Amino acid sequence: MTDAVRNILSNYASQPPGVRANLFRLLNSGRLAGSGKLVILPVDQGFEHGPARSFSDNPDGYDPHYHYRLALESGCNAYAAPLGFLEAGAAEFAGRIPTILKLNNHDSLAPDGVDPVPSVTASVEDALYLGCSGIGFTIYPGSANFKHMYEELSAIAATAKAHGLAVVVWSYPRGSGISKEGETALDVVAYAAQIAAQLGAHIIKVKLPTGHLEQEAARKKYEEHGIPAGSVAERVRHVVQSAFAGRRIVIFSGGSKAGEDSFFEDIRGIREGGGFGSIIGRNSFQRPKEDAVRFLNSVQDIYLGK
Amino acid sequence: MTDAVRNILSNYASQPPGVRANLFRLLNSGRLAGSGKLVILPVDQGFEHGPARSFSDNPDGYDPHYHYRLALESGCNAYAAPLGFLEAGAAEFAGRIPTILKLNNHDSLAPDGVDPVPSVTASVEDALYLGCSGIGFTIYPGSANFKHMYEELSAIAATAKAHGLAVVVWSYPRGSGISKEGETALDVVAYAAQIAAQLGAHIIKVKLPTGHLEQEAARKKYEEHGIPAGSVAERVRHVVQSAFAGRRIVIFSGGSKAGEDSFFEDIRGIREGGGFGSIIGRNSFQRPKEDAVRFLNSVQDIYLGK
Amino acid sequence: MTDAVRNILSNYASQPPGVRANLFRLLNSGRLAGSGKLVILPVDQGFEHGPARSFSDNPDGYDPHYHYRLALESGCNAYAAPLGFLEAGAAEFAGRIPTILKLNNHDSLAPDGVDPVPSVTASVEDALYLGCSGIGFTIYPGSANFKHMYEELSAIAATAKAHGLAVVVWSYPRGSGISKEGETALDVVAYAAQIAAQLGAHIIKVKLPTGHLEQEAARKKYEEHGIPAGSVAERVRHVVQSAFAGRRIVIFSGGSKAGEDSFFEDIRGIREGGGFGSIIGRNSFQRPKEDAVRFLNSVQDIYLGK
Amino acid sequence: MTDAVRNILSNYASQPPGVRANLFRLLNSGRLAGSGKLVILPVDQGFEHGPARSFSDNPDGYDPHYHYRLALESGCNAYAAPLGFLEAGAAEFAGRIPTILKLNNHDSLAPDGVDPVPSVTASVEDALYLGCSGIGFTIYPGSANFKHMYEELSAIAATAKAHGLAVVVWSYPRGSGISKEGETALDVVAYAAQIAAQLGAHIIKVKLPTGHLEQEAARKKYEEHGIPAGSVAERVRHVVQSAFAGRRIVIFSGGSKAGEDSFFEDIRGIREGGGFGSIIGRNSFQRPKEDAVRFLNSVQDIYLGK
Amino acid sequence: MTDAVRNILSNYASQPPGVRANLFRLLNSGRLAGSGKLVILPVDQGFEHGPARSFSDNPDGYDPHYHYRLALESGCNAYAAPLGFLEAGAAEFAGRIPTILKLNNHDSLAPDGVDPVPSVTASVEDALYLGCSGIGFTIYPGSANFKHMYEELSAIAATAKAHGLAVVVWSYPRGSGISKEGETALDVVAYAAQIAAQLGAHIIKVKLPTGHLEQEAARKKYEEHGIPAGSVAERVRHVVQSAFAGRRIVIFSGGSKAGEDSFFEDIRGIREGGGFGSIIGRNSFQRPKEDAVRFLNSVQDIYLGK
Q: What is the mean pLDDT of each run of 10 residues along chain B (306 residues)?
A: 97 98 98 98 97 97 98 98 98 97 95 86 98 98 95 98 98 95 98 98 98 96 97 98 98 87 97 98 96 98 96
DSSP for C115-144 reads S---EE---HHHHHHTT-SEEEEEE-TTST
pLDDT at A165: 98
Name chain E contacts of D117, Cβ cutoff 8 Å.
147
Contact B71, B61 (CB under 8 A): no
E90 to chain D, minimum CA–CA distance in Å? 31
pLDDT band at E116 (very low <50, low <70, confident <90, very high): confident
Instruction: Residue E198: list chain D partners with CB under 8 A.
Output: 46-47, 82-85, 105, 121
pLDDT digits (tens, 9 = 90+) for E61-111: 999 999 999 999 999 999 999 999 999 999 999 999 999 999 999 999 988
Nearest CA in chain D to C94: D14
Chain B closest-CA separation from residue A109 CA (Å): 5
Which residue of the set A37, A205, A289, A306 is catalytic? Answer: A205
pLDDT recorded at residue B257: 81
Residue D53 · residue D31 · CB < 8 Å: no
* CB-based contact C14 B91, cutoff 8 Å: yes
- Which A-chain residues 44-83 have CB contacts (< 8 A) with chain E? none
**Minimum Cα–Cα distance from A190: chain E residue:** E51
What integer pLDDT is reported at residue E130 of this predicted model?
98
CA dist., res. A151 & res. E92, Å (int): 27
Q: What is the DSSP letter of C209?
A: P
H or E segment and range at residue B42: strand B38-42
Over residues D68-82, the pLDDT tens digits come to 999 999 999 999 999
**What single-letter DSSP state applies at residue A181?**
G
Do C119 and C103 form a contact (C-beta atoms < 8 A)? no
CA torsion, ordered C209, C212, C217, C220, to nearest 10 deg? 110
Phi then psi dihedrals of residue B109, to 5 deg: -80, -25
User: Pick from D176, D200, D244: which is nearest to C111 by CB?
Assistant: D176
Give the pLDDT score at B117. Answer: 87
The pLDDT of residue A256 is 80
Q: Residues 203 to 222 of D: which have CB under 8 A from any C CB?
A: 215, 217-218, 221-222
Q: Which residue of C68, C93, C99, C109 is the best one to mutate when testing the D interface, meaning the one whose CB has the most D CBs within 10 A?
A: C109
Write the CB contacts of A280 (distance below 8 Å, at least 6 apart in sequence): A39, A40, A41, A42, A253, A296, A299
Predicted local distance difference test score (pLDDT) of residue A257: 80
The predicted pLDDT at position A195 comes to: 98
**Are E149 and E119 within 8 A, CB to CB?**
no
pLDDT band of residue E112 (cuts 50, 70, 90) is confident
User: For position B227, what pLDDT does the model report?
Assistant: 97
Closest-CA distance, E117 to chain A, in angstroms, reads: 8
Q: Considering only CB atoms, which chain D residues are within 8 Å of C63?
A: 244-245, 247
Q: Which of residues 106-125 of D touch C (CB under 8 A)?
A: 115
Which parts of chain D register pLDDT below 50?
A: none
Q: Which of C81, C84, C87 is nearest to C135 (CA)?
A: C81
pLDDT, one tens digit for every residue, chain A (306 residues): 999 999 999 999 999 999 999 999 999 999 999 999 999 999 999 999 999 999 999 999 999 999 999 999 999 999 999 999 999 999 999 999 999 999 999 999 988 778 888 999 999 999 999 999 999 999 999 999 999 999 999 999 999 999 999 999 999 999 999 999 999 999 999 999 999 999 999 999 999 999 999 999 999 999 999 999 999 999 999 999 999 999 999 999 977 888 999 999 999 999 999 999 999 999 999 999 999 999 999 999 999 998
Q: Which of C180, C175, C255 is nearest to C212 (CA)?
A: C180
- What pLDDT is stored for residue A166 in this prediction? 98
Mean pLDDT of C230-245: 98
Give the nearest partner residue to C62 out of D147, D151, D245, using CB atoms: D245
Cβ atoms within 10 Å of E74's Cβ, excluding its own: 23
DSSP-derived pairing of the beta strands A166-171 and A134-139: parallel
Sort out which chain A residues have CB atoms less than 8 A from B242's CB and list them.
51-52, 62
CA neighbor of B102 nearest in space, from B134, B65, B148: B134
Q: Give me the pLDDT at residue A116, please.
A: 84
In this predicted structure, what is the pLDDT of residue C112? 72
Residues in chain B: 306
Q: What angle do CA B242, B243, B247 make, to 5 degrees?
A: 125
Contact A56 B15 (CB under 8 A): no
pLDDT of D300: 98
Per-position DSSP letters for B230-243, written without gaps between them: SSHHHHHHHHHHHT
Active site residue A205: yes
Q: Within 13 A of A103's CA, how many CA atoms are on the CB side? A: 29
User: For chains C and D, what is the number of CB pairs under 8 angstroms?
Assistant: 135
Q: Which residues contact A7 (CB under 8 A, 6 or more apart)?
A: A36
Classify residue D287 as left (phi > 0), alpha (psi -120 to 50) or beta: beta
Q: CA D225, CA D232: separation in Å to the nearest integer?
A: 19
How much is the CA Rg of chain D, to the nearest whole Å? 18
Helix, strand and coil in chain E, % to nearest 5: 45, 15, 40
* Residue D184 touches chain C, beta carbons under 8 Å: no
Residue E129's Cβ-side half-sphere holds a number of Cα atoms within 13 Å equal to: 17
Contact assessment for residue E249 and residue E203, using Cβ atoms and an 8 Å cutoff: yes
Record: contact B83-C15, CB cut-off 8 A: no
C234 in D contact zone (CB under 8 Å): no
Inter-chain touch A151–E123, beta carbons under 8 Å: no
What are the CA-CA distances from residue E50 to residues E44, E54, E55 (Å)? Answer: 9, 6, 9
User: E215 to chain D: which residues are within 8 Å by CB?
Assistant: 50, 108-109
pLDDT at position C283: 94
Whether E169 contacts E160, CB under 8 Å: no
The number of helix segments (H) and strand segments (E) in chain B equals 14, 10
Q: What is the largest CA-CA distance in chain E?
A: 56
In this prediction, residues E230-241 reach a mean pLDDT of 98
Q: What is the mean pLDDT of chain C?
A: 97
Distance CA A179, CA A193 (A): 18
pLDDT at E258: 81
**Could you say which of E180, E205, E220, E306 is catalytic?**
E205
SS3 assignment, position A186? helix
How far is it, in rounded angstroms, from Cα D75 to Cα D80? Answer: 14
**Cβ contacts of E12 within 8 Å, gap of 6 or more:** E19, E20, E23, E202
* Option in A64, A108, A125 nearest B158 (CB): A125
Which pLDDT value is given to residue A254?
79
Q: Mind telling me the catalytic residues of C?
A: 205
Mutate to test the interface with C, among D194, D199, D238 (most CBs of C within 10 A): D194
Q: What is the pLDDT of residue A255?
A: 77
CB contact under 8 A, C241 and B112: no
Tell me what percent of the residues of chain C surpass a pLDDT of 90: 95
